[in-house]
Amino acid sequence: MYYNRTMDNIYQILILLEFAIAVPIFIILFFIKAPYGRYTKRGWGPVINARFSWFIMEMPSVILPLYFFITAGAASNPLFLLFIIIWEAHYIQRTFVYPALMNRASHKMPLLILLFSGIFNTVNGIINSYGIFVLENSGTESLLSIKLIAGLLIFCAGFILNLTSDKILRNLRAPGESGYKIPEKGMYKYICSPNYLGEILEWVGWAILTWSPAGAAFLVFTIANLAPRAWSNLKWYRATFPDYPPERKALIPGIY
């Protein structure tokens, strides 16, 4: 495939956009909660089944990186092979497995969230695959470098924390139940959103592994998106459950 200068320019613009947009998103989300899940409310337009929504909005993150990986001929490079396996492990889980396992009593999702998330996943999927597999198509680093091992370990720790924490939430509701309970297992003993901490750790690991502007932009955006929501979740738990353990924090045990 022929990649031209126009595509390189688009890449530069998109990556700057992802960094730039993270700042207002971070501030705004402390005041306006993204209206899905426990914060669903009227006035945000039509809503659809959340499982279907997750499936559709995450799909670009599965397809686009695979497209650039294959067309850039990156498969012959063991480093890039490792990157695509890690990326797809996360996104195949999020796109196919997470919605399939999701509690059927989960709130419906506004179409608007599907639209925004779908656009984000398209842009972010392009940045992270074009930037890494095409523009940096030299990847010659040893698979045993400290940076790669550290990044891989952090990614895996985050992936496990994210999966196990989502599972704990999923199992809180008995069949037919739709309300909320206080989670008591795993890292929920210390923070209210360990699934978000796991997600952030995954992309810390990815940023270290790939050592790329694209990885850094994704990490910054993820923190900007999830740190305010974890803060809102903590306030919500404290307001909803008078017996919510006061020592629990939002995202970082003992700190935040």
State the minimum distance, in angstroms, from the CB of residue 82 to ligand NDP. Answer: 21
Q: In one letter, which amino acid is 204?
A: V
Q: Is 61 in the site for ligand NDP (CB under 6 A)?
A: no
Query: Which position among 222, 228, 232, 234 is part of the footprint of ligand NDP (CB under 6 A)?
Result: 222
Rounded to the nearest 10 degrees, the angle between the axes of helix 50-71 and helix 78-92 is 170
User: Hey, is 191 helix, strand or coil?
Assistant: strand
Structure tokens at 169: 């939430």
CB closer to ligand NDP out of 74 and 169:
169
What is the per-residue DSSP string for 99-118?
HHHS-TTPPPEEHHHHHHHH
Q: In one letter, which amino acid is 111?
A: L
In the range 154-183, which residues lie near ligand NDP by CB under 6 A? 162, 166, 169, 172-173, 180-181, 183
Site pattern 19..48 for ligand NDP (x: CB under 6 A): ------------------xx----------
In the range 93-152, which residues lie near ligand NDP by CB under 6 A? 102-103, 106-107
Q: What are phi and psi of 212, to 5 degrees?
A: -130, 155
Q: Is 189 in the site for ligand NDP (CB under 6 A)?
A: no
- Which uninterrupted H or E stretch holds 68? helix 50-71
User: Residues 6 or more apart from 117 whose CB is under 8 A from it?
Assistant: 57, 58
State the minimum distance, in angstroms, from the CB of residue 76 to ligand NDP. Answer: 30
State the minimum distance, in angstroms, from the CB of residue 5 to ligand NDP. Answer: 31
Number of chain positions touching ligand NDP (CB under 6 A): 21
State the minimum distance, in angstroms, from the CB of residue 52 to ligand NDP. Answer: 13
CB closer to ligand NDP out of 8 and 88:
88
Distance, CA of 155 to chain centre: 12
Q: Is 59 in the site for ligand NDP (CB under 6 A)?
A: no
Computed on alpha carbons and rounded to an integer, the radius of gyration of the chain in Å comes to: 19
User: Hey, is 159 helix, strand or coil?
Assistant: helix
State the minimum distance, in angstroms, from the CB of residue 131 to ligand NDP. Answer: 18
Rounded to the nearest 10 degrees, the angle between the axes of helix 194-210 and helix 146-170 is 160
Q: Which residues bind ligand NDP (CB under 6 A)?
A: 37-38, 50, 102-103, 106-107, 162, 166, 169, 172-173, 180-181, 183, 195-196, 199, 222, 225-226
